Amino acid sequence: MLALPPFRRYDGAMKAGGGVHAVELPKRLKTIAAWVPRGAVAADIGTDHALLPVHLVREGGCPRVIATEASPGPWRRAAAALAASPWRERIDLRLGDGLSTLAPGEAQVLILAGMGGATMCGILAAAGDVLEAGPLLLLQPMNGAWALRRWLYGHDWHLAREKLVAEKRRLFLIMAAVPGREVPDEPLDLAIGPRLIEGRDPLLPAYLADMAARLERLAASLAAAPHPGVEKAAAVEKLLNRIEEVRSRCLSPEKI
């Protein structure tokens, strides 16, 4: 099992010369790259244009990166993007669903970024022996983080780190998980992010404000329904109360 490295800074500036190696790496992907231990073989699941694999072999100290796509079209786009890259010999581009193209222990770091939390749960649930080697999971869900955390906790994965990244007027969540059993002190914190709360992430107040606004709209919709869902409304209210409690503590000098 790999330990998380100290946070490393990357300037992310791609070298001139065209091709995928000339494209600026998004901030959220730079953060993921900074969490990959040097010397590790990483697998980027759903690699898109292979920006992250190129960055990892060029800047991140990865001897090799496996990049996968589930469909022929995206796979061909990634192959075309890599064709002009001087790093293409160290990037193994594969076609296949989820983690099906990987052998157990072949990659010490598994990266799933830019997909929904439910999709990630499905990929991890179908991983079979690939997860038994205890890889480091680096996850960047576009939505469904609560369901993803519940899956991780329910299958003996420990959330080692969470971080919020602001990019293009949007907040992105990045999570790192390692094998280990953990029981949250407050189950509702799985909706918010236990490590975000524990570490008092500087973007947590904005994240909570957005979450509260969406829950308040849901509560209003439930109240206006012809047959209000009493249990669901109560659950929404309970979560709103927890969010307000965490928000108030984030703004106070006391530790959460």
Summarize pLDDT for 95-143 with one digit per residue, the tens: 999 999 999 999 999 999 999 999 999 999 999 999 999 999 999 999 9
Residue 23 confidence class, pLDDT cut points 50, 70, 90: low
Per the domain annotation, does 11 fall within a domain? Answer: no
Is the pLDDT assigned to residue 22 strictly greater than 90?
Answer: no
Residue 199 predicted with pLDDT over 80: yes
Determine what percent of the chain is predicted with pLDDT higher than 70.
89
Assess if residue 167 is contained within a domain: yes
> Residue 154 domain-assigned?
yes
Residue 207 sits in the same domain as residue 248: yes
Residues 172 and 190 in one domain: no
Residue 18 above 50 pLDDT? no
Same domain, 179 and 189: no
Quick check: helix, strand or coil at residue 251?
A: coil
Q: Are residues 132 and 221 in the same domain?
A: no
Domain that holds residue 192: 184-256
Task: Say if 3 falls within a structural domain.
Answer: no
Same domain membership, residue 119 and residue 30 = yes
- State the Cα–Cα distance between residues 49 and 38, nearest whole angstrom: 22
Question: Among 183, 216, 234, which residue terminates a domain?
Answer: 183
Average per-residue pLDDT for the chain: 89
pLDDT value at position 256? Answer: 46
- Domain-located, residue 122: yes
pTM for the model = 0.88
* Beta carbons of 41 and 65 less than 8 angstroms apart: yes
Is residue 43 classed as helix, strand or coil in its secondary structure?
A: strand
Read off the pLDDT band of 21 (50, 70, 90). low
Residue type, 14: M
The helix/strand/coil state of 170 is strand
Tell me, yes or no, whether 69 and 175 share the same domain: yes
Q: Which of 127, 162, 183 is the last residue in one of the domains?
A: 183
Number of domains in the chain: 2
Residue 5 — very low, low, confident or very high, per pLDDT cuts 50/70/90? very low
List, in order, residues 6 or more apart from 121 with CB less than 8 Å away.
144, 147, 148, 151
Q: Which bin fits 193, alpha (ψ -120 to 50), beta or left (φ > 0)?
A: left
Please indicate, yes or no, if residue 162 is contained in any of the structural domains: yes
* CA dist 234 → 222, 228, 230 (Å): 10, 11, 6
Task: Please report where in the chains the tokens 């065209």 appear, as a residue.
Answer: 18
| For residues 146-151, average pLDDT | 97
Out of 152, 183, 214, a domain closes at 183
Mean of pLDDT values over 149-170 = 96
Is residue 12 situated within a structural domain?
Answer: no
Does one domain contain both 45 and 161?
yes
Q: Does 101 reside within a domain? A: yes
Please indicate, yes or no, whether residues 83 and 37 belong to a single structural domain of this protein. yes
Q: What is the mean pLDDT of residues 38-59?
A: 95
Q: Are residues 247 and 190 in the same domain?
A: yes
